[in-house]
Structure 1
Amino acid sequence: MRLKSFHAKTMAEAMRLVRKTLGDDAIIVATREEEGGGVRVTAAVEDDDLLVAQERLRQPAAAPADPEEPEIDVSEVVAEVLQRHGVPAALAEQLVDAAAGLDTDDPCLALGAALDQFYTFNPLPDGRGRVKPLVLVGPPGSGKTLIAAKLAARAVFKKRSVGVITTDTVRAGGVDQLAAFTRLMKLKLATVEDPDALAGAFEVNRGTDLVLVDTAGRNPFDREDMNDLKALLAAGEAEPVLVLPAGLDALEAADMAQSFRAIGVRRMLVTRLDMARRLGSLLATASRARLAFCDASVSSKVAEGLTPLNPLAFARMMMPPAEEKKAPKPAPKKLATKTKAVSSPSSRTIP
């Protein structure tokens, strides 16, 4: 047996020296306080144990193991995101169940897959080949005139022929605002006031790749307003597209959308995404009114154009990159949510 004394300022420091030099098997024989300050500890260790401790000291210290990252509970992350965006509880529960069925640890991909199951995404044409005229409809102030300018600019940039028509002759400055945009793009703007005039404008633009119609804002809860709009849409074979701003109350927006669906709207274009932080109302609206998402406007500048929407793009808007990899606090028990196999999102979900 070997004896060795250690001197240190504190007992804790002395004990650390004992363990470091003699190992964990050392036995404390005596301790005392020194007159000049500090403590002295005498420890003993068997010869074999001392050799083991000395060999351990000569070996390089092993690098500390990387801490294991907590496993991400995809269902919990998706549920938190939907709650933060104000998605109604019943709809959120359905989306969480769908996300849980996808065998992935990427919450954004799981949310995108859930959106792909519950919603239709059908972006608007850019003028590549002739399509039905697009009639932009919606409540006052939703941004229809700006969207008409953005759609026209996108088609012009792709060297497509564009015809622009406005029926917004009531709002002060409505025609002037769109005229300013069309002049910059060297496009002619046709102004019409009734269904017969609109039919004539459609005939004039019969050979045009893309025809856009900007309409006056309509109160979706006013029967006369909606009847006038319905008569306008009957002037020719055209597709009405609902332009709706983000950030509205979910139930209010859904009621508005249902009124416009009753007159033939099947696609919804979202505006003011740059001013909205909660997108739950859009999901509730598309679900209740059974509308497809098409494009989105994230800026009030015409030059910045529109963003075609797809499930994964929408999921990324709801779940910024900084939060995609954020793991929730570890739960005591892992939820058994992967009970069914679901195919990954289709190719159209990839931007």
Structure 2
Amino acid sequence: MRLKSFHAKSMSEAMRMVRQTLGDDAIIVATREEDGGGVRVTAAVEDDDLLMAQARTAQPTRTARPVVVVEEEPEIDVGEVVADVLHRHGVPAALAEQLIDAAAGLDTDDPALALGAALDSMFTFSPLQDRRGGNKPLILVGPPGSGKTLIVAKLAAQAVFRKRSVGVITTDTVRAGGMEQLAAFTRLMKIKLATVEDPDALAGAFEVSRGADVVLVDTAGRNPYNREDMADLKALLSAGVAEPILVLPAGLDAMEAADIAQSFKALGVRRMLITRLDMARRLGSLLGTAHRSRMAFCNASVSSKVAEGLTPLNPVAFARLMMPAEDKAARNRPKPAAPAKTKAVRSSSRTIP
């Protein structure tokens, strides 16, 4: 199904636009009056009905008098491009409509900047800080298999590369091979690995690592729907002043990811680190998750290699992840010149999921 929004001075004019563009089979989804005057009508039509409507309105080919061809610079409808990107990434419809409105109201012809500004208006971006001393310890939490151990290794390697002192602690003493995997990473970086099994031991490990520039804690994966798992994690988080960071993989179902994030949000988690971006092509679920849980984006992992660190996330960086370079190149190719014709009233229609 395709949805389009039409803006016009009056309801009758908007309905005429709906019929001309979508045909008589279009269904009116919503109408509203605009603050600056006029009305907006959102209509929907099945893809097959849309094709039939376009075929009916197509004019038969006939011999006509020559026309003057006027070459014009290709125009970019920023709102339309942003709407198409959000649709392809599966952004929830209500959230997509808000982002489209925010992007279309900006004075720019760069869709990536427009989408970045729209994201900035609705989401919080708070990358992990890199400074010598004064950093809170970080506890990486999340569901099983989200990539917490790899993220600890990446953060530790990044700190060593920048000549920071590092303390690494693991509480993952249950998962088969979990501690051995992290121990292999820390041995290569010549970092001591502390192993703890309960909140009291974790508090002691924090004291031992107090002088380190960076202190990282790996935890066992927790089932967000298991009360016992979450109660154990809550007790672990109460052992010190460390900040919990949710490690969440990209590519999850939107509703499932939002439910997982809200379970960890109840334990005091405020920032979300995204993994497996190299294995995901649709990021709409991440936006839906952040919007529902009110969590901030911090960093992202785009590779399974420890040496390739984390990418700090900001609005424009996230927008560019959603708009690959080949898409931008295709949009910027000159379009064939079209015959000059009388300019008619035109709807600023946008396709949304």
Task: Specify the TM-score bucket, using the shorter chain as the normaliser.
Answer: 0.7 to 0.9
Of structures 1 and 2, the one scoring higher in RCO (CA 8 A, sep 6+) is: 2
Q: Does 1:205 align with 2:184?
A: no
The Cα of 1:67 is off from its aligned counterpart by 3.7
The Cα of 1:263 is off from its aligned counterpart by 0.1
Q: How many residues align?
A: 274
Structure 1 unaligned blocks of 5 or more: 1-64, 338-351
Aligned 8 A contact 2:133 2:212 in 1: no
Paired with 1:244 and 1:327, the residues of 2 have a C-alpha distance of 32
Partner of 1:272: 276
Please list the CA deviations of residues 66-94 of structure 1 after superposition, one character each: whole Å capped at 9, or x if unmatched: 94243111001000000000000000000
The Cα of 1:127 is off from its aligned counterpart by 4.4
Partner of 1:281: 285
Which of 304, 307, 314 matches 1:310?
Answer: 314
Partner of 2:242: 238
Structure 1 residues 199 and 324, CA gap change in structure 2 (3 angstroms): same
Secondary structure of 2:113's counterpart equals helix
Q: Does 1:187 align with 2:188?
A: no
Partner of 1:224: 228
Report the aligned-residue RMSD: 2.1
The Cα of 1:208 is off from its aligned counterpart by 1.1
Secondary structure of 1:178's counterpart equals helix
Structure 2 unaligned blocks of 5 or more: 1-68
Partner of 1:142: 146
Q: Does 1:84 align with 2:88?
A: yes
Q: Does 1:112 align with 2:121?
A: no
Partner of 1:297: 301
The Cα of 1:333 is off from its aligned counterpart by 5.4
Structure 1 residues 304 and 336, CA gap change in structure 2 (3 angstroms): same
Partner of 2:179: 175
TM-score, normalising length from structure 1? 0.75
Partner of 2:66: none
Paired with 1:242 and 1:74, the residues of 2 have a C-alpha distance of 33
The Cα of 1:320 is off from its aligned counterpart by 1.1
Aligned 8 A contact 2:138 2:215 in 1: yes
Please list the CA deviations of residues 158-190 of structure 1 after superposition, one character each: whole Å capped at 9, or x if unmatched: 111110000000000000000000011100000
Identity among equivalent positions (%) equals 78
Secondary structure of 2:81's counterpart equals helix
Paired with 1:105 and 1:292, the residues of 2 have a C-alpha distance of 28
Paired with 1:335 and 1:103, the residues of 2 have a C-alpha distance of 19
Partner of 1:324: 328
AA matched with 2:122: F
Q: Does 1:68 align with 2:72?
A: yes
Paired with 1:82 and 1:146, the residues of 2 have a C-alpha distance of 30
Secondary structure of 2:307's counterpart equals helix
Please list the CA deviations of residues 199-257 of structure 1 after superposition, one character each: whole Å capped at 9, or x if unmatched: 00001011111100000000011111001000000000110000000000001000000
Structure 1 residues 219 and 333, CA gap change in structure 2 (3 angstroms): farther
TM-score, normalising length from structure 2? 0.74
AA matched with 1:170: V
AA matched with 1:157: F
Paired with 2:348 and 2:132, the residues of 1 have a C-alpha distance of 48
The Cα of 1:335 is off from its aligned counterpart by 4.5
Q: Does 1:97 align with 2:116?
A: no
Secondary structure of 1:241's counterpart equals strand
AA matched with 2:126: N
Secondary structure of 2:298's counterpart equals strand
Paired with 1:127 and 1:143, the residues of 2 have a C-alpha distance of 24
